[in-house]
Structure formats: structure tokens, C-alpha cells
Chains A and B, each alone.
Chain A
Amino acid sequence: MTMWLVSGIVFLAAWHLSAALLTAAEPAERTIDDVSRRVVKIFGAGGIRGLYAYSTGFLVSSKGHLVTVWSHVLDDQAVTVILHDGRKFEGKILGAEPQLDLAVLKIEGDDLPYFDLDSASTSGVGTRVLAFSNMFKVATGDEQVSVLHGVIAARTRLTARRGAYESPYNGPVYVVDAITNNPGSGGGVLTTADGQLLGMIGKELRNTQTNTWINYAIPIGELKPVINEIISGKFVARAERSDDSANPRRYVPVDFGLVMVPDVLFRTPAFVDRVLPGSPAAKVDIRPNDLVLFVNDDLVQSCRLFKEELGRLEAGDVLKLVLRRGNALIPVEMPVEKKAESDTDKSRTRNGKNKPADEDDE
């Protein structure tokens, strides 16, 4: 019996020891190796005039479905996909959703290492992250992709201001405190420090207001439904969003009874010059010299931008303005009435001739 007890003790001690070793946190190297196997290098079309012809992608099924950014690299219908160990495949485009900057490709493979999209994670500002990508195509042939480290700098949306970002994607993103904004990085992965998938690294993108590049990744959660639809063959491309740059001119300030100051400078602030008596603006007590600051929560920095915002309104909307009067901010609301056909025609002609609204006599 003693023998049994002694061996029991020895066994338990050994069990503790090994358990302790096994549950020690994964050393960083093992995580990186693990993740790198699921990231691929994509080589394709050069676009116009020698734009870089490479990007990154990641496997999402053992049969070879992979996700990448929708970019000029995919202009040729077939691209070359190279795995971490140098195995070369031809990749075919299964489907794409340009509104999400997303493309799904397929290579003919079996038993490939892949990311399980269902176990992807989300995270908050300040969390350590790793970024894996083939930036500058430093990784050749059978080399692993490059790894960057950093933290999540912020969570934000790319819709901040119309035209602020030249991107069709306008949903939530992780902004990353690492320089991921490089040629070839698009389609790479953002993971937590222990290898959990967070997002897909986005294309090179510039914030036109500050003229600076932005390092960002699209959360997997935003992409997962469409990726699954494409893989299962049930994907139907969404209708193209109406082209904002067409600048509809459905409404003008005078439709609400507002006469703005003459728009002489590029950035004349949107000061109200006169309010027409009996108009919707008069009913909500807008006064001369009020400065229109916000239209439906968007800051308008000039007369020009104010008129653009009005131009986009549709009948039935509610127009919410925030005005500055002296040192106070005053919110007002006005319903957007349907315009009579002749009025709409008149405003079209008026604007077709580029006459500022306040020069017309009513």
C-alpha cells in the first residue's frame, strides 16, 4: 500500500508539473507561427502605370477559401497565391463586395490551415495587437509574412465627414497604432497578442481633411456575413450607393426662407443674412446673423457645404440645424416639405445657371 501511496504522490507531482507547463501562456513565437500559416501572399495585376501588384490575404476554410481586399491587384480574374511555405496556387475570384472593400478568392487545396471566423474576437482601445501582412512584398516565396506590433489606437467610423475618406467602406474600423498603411498590406490580418483574429487590414487610405494616411483594419464582424454568403454561393451584390459626388440640388436655403450671406470666399461661414417673413425659418425663430454650424449632426464649415447638405435632403426628412447666436448654441428643427413640381424645376434651372439663391427675387 505504501508503494501505491508513494507512486500516487509521484504521479500527482508529475501531473502538477506538466499541467503547469502546459497551461503556461503561449510564448509569442508559437502564436505568430500559428497565425502566419494562415496568411497568404497574393500577386496579381499592376493596375495603371506600375501600381504595386501584390497584396495579402488569409484563409478561412480548409478547402482554400481566402479573404482579401478588393483592389486593382485583382483586376486580372486569376491571381497567384503563395502560402507561407512557398506552395503556389492559382486563385480565382469567387465574389466581391466593393462597398466593404472585400473580395473572396478560392484556391484548390485540402487540409489548409485557416481562421475560423466564428471564433474571431473584438477588442478595445489600448489592447496590444499584431498585424500580419506582405507589406512591400518583403516576404518572397516561402517566407512568412511581416509582423508588426502595436495597440488599438481607436475605434471609429469612416463616415466622419463626407468626402473625408476616399473609400466606399463607411462602417466601423479599428485604427491601429502601427504603420499598417503600406503597399501590399491590404488584406492582411489584425490579431490580438495571442493570435485571435480581430480584423482585415484595409487598403492605403488618406484622410483628405488632414492630408494624413490612416492605419486601419475592418472588424471581422462587419465582413463575416458577406464572406459566408459568397462562400455558400448565395451572395447577391448590393445596389451601388448613389454617387454622392453628383451633388443633387434638391433643396436650397431659400426653400426654408433663409437668405445666406454672399458666398464670396472659399470658406465663407454660413451666416444667415435675412429670414423671409412667414417662412419655416421664421416660424422657428431663426434670426439674421445666426451662424449655421450643424446640419443633422454634420458640421458645416462654410456656406458652400451648407448648401451641399441641403441639396441632399429628401421630402419627408426633418432638417435639424444647430445655430450659433452670440455665445449660445441653439438647435432648431424644420420639416422638409415636398416641393411643387414647378418649384423643383425652377431650382434646377437656377442652379444650372449657377446663380446664388439669394440673388433671386421671390
Chain B
Amino acid sequence: MNNSRTTFRSLSCLAALLWCLGAPRAAFCIDNRPADLESREELAIKQATALVTASLVRIETVGGLDRIGQVLTVTGPTTGVIVSPDGFIISSAFNFASRPASILVTLADGRRLPATQIATDKLKMLTLIKIEAENLPVPQAAPAETFRVGQWAIALGRTLDESASISVGIISALNRIWGKALQTDAKISPVNYGGALVDIEGRVLGILVPLSPQASGEVAGVEWYDSGIGFAIPMVDVLATLDRLKAGKDLTGGLLGITIKGQDIYEGQPIIDRVRYGSPAYQAGLRDGDAIVELGGQAVKRQAQIKHLLGNRYAGETVSIKVKRGSEELVREMTLVEKLVPYESAFLGILPVRDGVGKPADLGVGVRFVVDDSPAAQAGIARGHRILKFNDHDVNSPAALLDLVSRQRPLDRARLVVQQEGKRKELELTLGSLPASVPLELRPSPIVPREKELANKELKTGRFTEKMPAHEHEYWAYVPEDYNPEFKYGLLVWLHPSGDTMEASILKAWQTLCDERGLILLAPKAGQIAGWIPDETEFVKDAVEQFFEKYSIDRSRVALHAYGGSGPFAYQLAFKHRQLFKGISTVAAPLLAPPPDNEPDFRLQFHLLCGDNDPQIRNVVMSARGLSELKFPVVYRAIEGAGHKYPSAEFVTEIAVWIDSLDRI
């Protein structure tokens, strides 16, 4: 009896012993093995990469421009993603900005093939190329409904030798750049532009491209490389437009042709400020003052929403709009266009008496000068008259009259109420267009020399030099000695050519004219005597704004003046800061890049001079012609018998008169 109990006990102990030996570790393990999760993630990332890497190609280009404007184009390789088995490959437009002569593709298996450029999507900055091949592997696209902020996003490229490159991050945001792109914090740079952003399951989320919400163009956004901010165009969007690209059609963003009142895009109910003539909005019958209620079926409460709704649409797409006009609601369909009809302002033919001159209680806008053969001249308007009403609107300032006239087109009829010698007269006339000549007989507007001391004792007059603290840059300036802050002065910003600031000769040429015509001369100096660099636009902008604060300056008469090598920098400055500069006068300086469109809200007038023996004369003529076609107000004059030199006093005087007439209406 004892034996069986003992046996039983022994056996059970033995069984327990054996069980202990054989028990899986897990029974006793504390499952705190973080490395296990990490190694599984690592494996998942490697597998996701492996699924797509065969569809990545390396693209190299040969030949092409070495600069665009003043930015050097890159020469390194870039990446592409195969989108169809017969050899269509999508990549970022970044590497094709230089318009290469020859494109070479290296497949994952090492084969090298030449490629042809098929089309570019300029809205999303993508380029489609094609190689002759068959049965190429095409990756899967991740459906848009699976996108989640915070999910794994792996950026793949194939620009480095020997292996594809990867960078691991997450999706940081959706619908960035006005609805166009996914944002990721993976490292995005030329190493993987044109490559694929892939999810943890190995499906392509999007194609990596440099983008910036503030600027556009093939190289916008490159300055954010490896910064933790990167963008990818969703693959599903790319596939949606693929057939059109395959057909060889370039795609561009679509325009409606409207501007919205107000500077703040977050303010309430957007109200149309201007409808551009000939635009889709114009043809749909929309008018200045309509309030936008719905766009593309979505309710609109803020201007920012319009940008979001239109930011991802191409020219040729139709969009519906609902506006409110008074108590009426109108619904219209519009087809977006690539380019709008060039904007051209009407011209009345007068130069207004400036604010600050004359008795403040006078109504309307005084006429300082009437341009020969203009509509105003033909209607009998003369110096000394006052314009009280334009098309039934009261006119209280030159700015208000200019705004009204700018909304009309040449050959429109207009009704004015004019005060002539104490009597009110009603007139009707046909508006004209801005003349391409300078009214040389224009006499200066009177400026009374100041009588008392300047309130700000530190304000300098005469010729002086200053250094800008924030910028390590210098400028010199000339303010008329009898500067009177009660009057508004024009501002002439002189940009010297490379190698020579021309301080002495410019001061000599302009000093008297500044005194006569009420001009302040500001002459920034380039950091390197060799020439201006694009980064210096900020310095010049800050210098100009500083002068706005210190001196009494008429914002409608701020002009840039450039000669020869400083031309490109001056044009770039004028186009980048259109709210600052109203005129640009150049000598022997053609446009190197196509200008942007003429815009009603940012009036910009041009005065181009060139010696007819100057080697640049042909280019300057072409630039003038190009600007006229875009309906910019351009005055072009060739200087007979002159080569490449700064113009004589006669022409400098013309430029001064042109600046004096920049506020013509």
C-alpha cells in the first residue's frame, strides 16, 4: 500500500519534472521583448520595399540648359516609376526642367534604354517618359480611402549605385498644396524625387516631387530637402490622368478668371472683386460683386476654400458655381482654361492732381494734365477741371478713379460728370488704351519746399550712405534737400550693373531731375561687385519698405531702373514683389524669362531703352513686343547711333517724365 502511494507520488513528481523540462519557455517567459516588435517592423519595411523596387528605374539626362533664369540646373540622376508594362514611366518634372537632349533609363535588372519625353503635368509637376520594352513590372497603387495620417510611409529612390535607397517615415498630412499632395516626414531629396512613396503593404501611395505652397515651378520646394517635409502626388491621381499624358498632351492647372475682395483668405463669404474679360467666369455671366455660395457642389464660406477646391483641377475640367447677386441666386457651369485673355486696362487720358496738393475740401479728382489725342482731350476735358463722377460712381481720389477705369476695357463707353469752371457738365466718351509714348511736355507737379524743421531730426536729406543692419548690405540715396513730408515723392530704385555702382554718374544725371520732379533716389549696392544674386531681392525689398516708412512716398510712383547686367535681377524683383513696384525702366536689358501675366491688381508699366548699335537691340525689341502682346503698358525707344552706354541727358529726362506720369489714368 505504501508502495503504490509512493509510486503514484513519484510518478506524478516525475511527470511534473518532465513537464517542467519540456514546458515551452513561453510559459515562464515574461513577454517583454521589444526587439521582437522592432524586428518584425524592420522585416515588414524590407518586404514592402522588395515589392516595389523592381518597378523603380534610374533616369539620367544628357545636354540641356545649364540655367533656368539664374538657378543652375542639376545634372545628377533621378528616379522614375514604371506605370505600364509597355514602358511608360512617370517621374518628377524636376530633372526635366533643363529640357535635356537625351534621356537614359536604367532598369532594376541593369538594362539601359533610351527614353523619349511624352508629356508633362504642370499642375502636379510630373513628367511621363517612354522606353521600348515589354512585360515590365507595375506596382500596385494604394487606394485613397486607405490613406491615414500617421501610417508608415517609405520613400524609395534609385539614384545611388548598387541599391535602391529607402527612407522611413509617416504620412504627415493629406491634401497639401491646395489638395494636390500627401505630406511625409521621410527624407525627400534629389536622391528620390520621381520615386515612390510606399505603404507598409508594398502599395504605392504616391510619386515623390518637390513642391511648395508658396511658389511654383520645377525647382520650387527643393530648398526643403531632407527637412522632414516632403510631398508625394497620390498614385491614384496620377493613374487618373495617365491616358491623357500618354496621348502626349501637357496638362496645366485650370483658371476661372476671378479675384476675390479682401486680403485675408480666411475672412467670411468670398465676394468677387474682378471678373477677367473673356474668362470662363465672364462667359458664364458672373459679375464684380457677386458672392460665391457654392463651388463644385461644396458650400463655400471662406476664400481659402476656393483655393482648395480649385487647386487640384486641370484646364478643361468643368466646375459648377452658385453665386448670390442681391437677392438672386444663380447657378452656372464653367470650363476651366489654361490661360486667360491678357488683361488690358482702359485709358481716360489724364494725369490727376496729386493728393496733398490743393485744398483738401475739393471734391472729385483734379486734372493736372491731359494727354494729347486721348479720350479726355477729345471730350474737352482740360487742366484745372475736376472729375466728380465716373459711370455713376462718386470719385473722391485718384486711386478710386484708377480702380474704376481699370475695370473697363478700351473702346468701352463711359459717362463722366466733370466740374468745368464752376459748372457741372455731363460727358460721354469712348475709352482708349494706354499710349506707348511719354508726354514730354508734362511740367512737374509743384512741391513747396519745407518751411519748418523736420520733426524727425535723424531723417537724412541730400546724398548719404547707409548700411542695413539685418542684411550686411549697403545702399546710397539722394533725397532732395528741401524735402517736404507734406508732399508725396516718387521713388526711383537704381540697380547698378555688375562691376560698377556708377554712383557719381547717376547722381550727376539724376540730382536735378529728382529736385524738379519730386523723386527720391535709392541705390542698393550688390554684396559682390560681380553682380546681383537672386537672394538679394529680399534686401532690396526691405530697403524699399524702410524708405516707405521713413519718407512720404507715393506708392503709385515706385520704379526700378536698371542698366545692362542688372536687368535680369530687376525684372525678377519686379515680378516677385508686384505689390511694391509700379514701373520698371531698363537700358539695354532684354527679358531672359517669359514674364507673368498682366494683372489688374498689380499695375506694372515698362520703359525700355536701347542704343540701336547695342548688341542687345534685337533682344530688347523682342522683349518689348512680347510685353505688348501680354498687354502690358510698354514704352520702347531706340537711341539712334548709340552703342552700349548709359543714355544721354535727353533720354534720362524722358525716364524722369515717364516716372512722373506713372499715375496716369
| Residues of A that sit less than 8 Å from B by CB | 1-2, 5-6, 8-9, 12-13, 16-17, 19-21, 24-28, 124-128, 150-151, 153-157, 160-161, 164, 172, 175, 177, 179, 193-194, 207, 209-213, 265-270, 291, 293, 299-302, 322, 324, 327-329
Contacts and interface: CB of A to CB of B under 8 A. Distances in A.
B167 interface: yes
A329 B113 CA distance: 7
B30 interface: yes
A13 B166 contact: no
Contacts of B161: 156-157, 160
Given A175-B160, A210-B76, A293-B62, A193 B35 contact: yes
A207 B162 CA distance: 17
A177 B34 contact: no
Among A9, A268, A301, A324, max chain B CB count under 10 A is at A301
B598 interface: no
A172 B186 CA distance: 24
Contacts of B225: 212
Contacts of A127: 42
A126 B42 contact: yes
A207 B104 CA distance: 21
Given A16-B23, A28-B34, A125-B166, A5 B17 contact: yes
Given A124-B46, A301-B75, 10 more contacts: A2-B13, A13-B28, A24-B29, A25-B33, A128-B38, A154-B160, A211-B74, A212-B225, A267-B75, A327-B132
A213 B226 contact: yes
A177 B187 contact: yes
A268 B63 CA distance: 6
Contacts of A19: 25
Contacts, number: 161
B102 A269 contact: yes
B63 A267 contact: yes
17 contacts: A1-B10, A2-B6, A2-B9, A20-B29, A21-B30, A24-B33, A26-B35, A124-B46, A125-B163, A153-B165, A154-B166, A177-B187, A210-B76, A269-B62, A291-B101, A301-B63, A327-B132
B61 interface: yes
B577 interface: no
Given A151-B168, A267-B63, A328-B114, A20 B132 contact: no
Contacts of B35: 25-26, 28, 193-194
Interface in B1-42: 6, 9-10, 13-14, 16-17, 20-21, 23, 25, 28-30, 32-36, 38, 42
B28 A126 contact: no
Contact of B74 (A16, A209, A300): A209
Contacts of A301: 60-63, 75
Q: Give the secondary structure class of B's interface.
A: mixed
A9 B190 contact: no
Nearest to B13: A5
Contact of A177 (B10, B63, B166): B166
A15 B630 CA distance: 88
A25 B74 CA distance: 47
A179 B166 CA distance: 14
B303 interface: no
Contacts of B63: 267-269, 301-302
Contacts of B75: 209, 267, 301
Given A126-B49, A269-B101, A301-B61, A324 B114 contact: yes
Contact of B189 (A24, A210, A291): A210
B45 interface: yes
A24 B164 CA distance: 34
A209 B32 CA distance: 47
Nearest to A301: B62
Contacts of A179: 226
Nearest to A10: B20
B222 to A, nearest CB: 9
Given A212-B190, A299-B60, A154 B226 contact: no
A180 to B, nearest CB: 11
Nearest to A303: B63
Nearest to B35: A25
A291 B102 contact: yes
A299 B102 CA distance: 12
Interface residues of B, number: 60
A48 to B, nearest CB: 20
Nearest to A12: B20
Nearest to A179: B226
A156 B159 CA distance: 10
A5 B14 contact: yes
Contacts of B595: none
A21 B20 CA distance: 16
Contact of A13 (B6, B13, B20, B74): B20
Contacts of B13: 2, 5-6, 9
Contacts of A299: 60, 62, 104
A70 B620 CA distance: 54
A12 B17 contact: yes
Contacts of A28: 34-35
A205 to B, nearest CB: 13
Contacts of B28: 13, 16-17, 20
A168 B562 CA distance: 45
Given A25-B35, A128-B38, A9 B20 contact: yes
Contacts of A8: 17
Contacts of B295: none
Contact of A126 (B46, B60, B114): B46
Contacts of A300: 62
Nearest to B131: A327
A130 B25 CA distance: 30
A302 B75 CA distance: 11
Contacts of A324: 102, 104, 114
A17 B76 CA distance: 58
Contacts of A265: 66
Interface string B53-68: 0000000111111100
Contacts of B65: 267
- What 7 A-B pairs have minimum CB-CB distances, sorted nearest first? A209-B76, A269-B63, A210-B190, A154-B165, A25-B35, A5-B13, A156-B160
B201 to A, nearest CB: 15
A312 B162 CA distance: 25
Contacts of B104: 293, 299, 324
B195 to A, nearest CB: 12
B16 A9 contact: yes
A155 B168 contact: no
B112 interface: yes
Given A16-B20, A175-B160, A125 B49 contact: yes
B191 interface: yes
B36 A25 contact: yes
Nearest to A127: B42
A156 B163 contact: yes
Nearest to A1: B10
Contacts of B42: 126-128, 151
Contacts of B29: 20, 24
Contact of A164 (B21, B76, B187): B76
B34 A27 contact: yes
Interface in B294-352: none
Contacts of B60: 299, 301
A321 to B, nearest CB: 13
A209 B160 CA distance: 12
B32 to A, nearest CB: 6
B101 A212 contact: no
A345 B579 CA distance: 63
